[in-house]
Amino acid sequence: MPECPEMENNLEYCSCSYESCPRKGNCCACIQYHNNKGEIPGCLFDEEAEKTYNRSRKYFLQTQN
């Protein structure tokens, strides 16, 4: 996976709680990974929903008011 030149800046704002993720801070890789799996990246969920690690599109829509 290519290094991200903005990794340090991204990590400051990354809300993903999955600490061992190899894509943490590499937004481009994260978005591509989850999109390829039909999922939504954790950073788009609110804090409580993100902690479930359920990244499905269906769950994302359920969390929206």
**Residue 3: per-residue pLDDT:** 82
- pLDDT category at 25 given cuts 50, 70, 90 is very high
pLDDT in tens, 42-54: 999 999 999 999 9
Query: CB–CB of 1/23 below 8 Å?
Result: yes
DSSP tally for the chain: helices H, then strands E: 4, 0
Domain range annotation of the chain: 23-65
- pLDDT category at 34 given cuts 50, 70, 90 is very high
- pLDDT category at 38 given cuts 50, 70, 90 is very high
Residue linked to tokens 């969920």: 45
**Residue 2: per-residue pLDDT:** 74
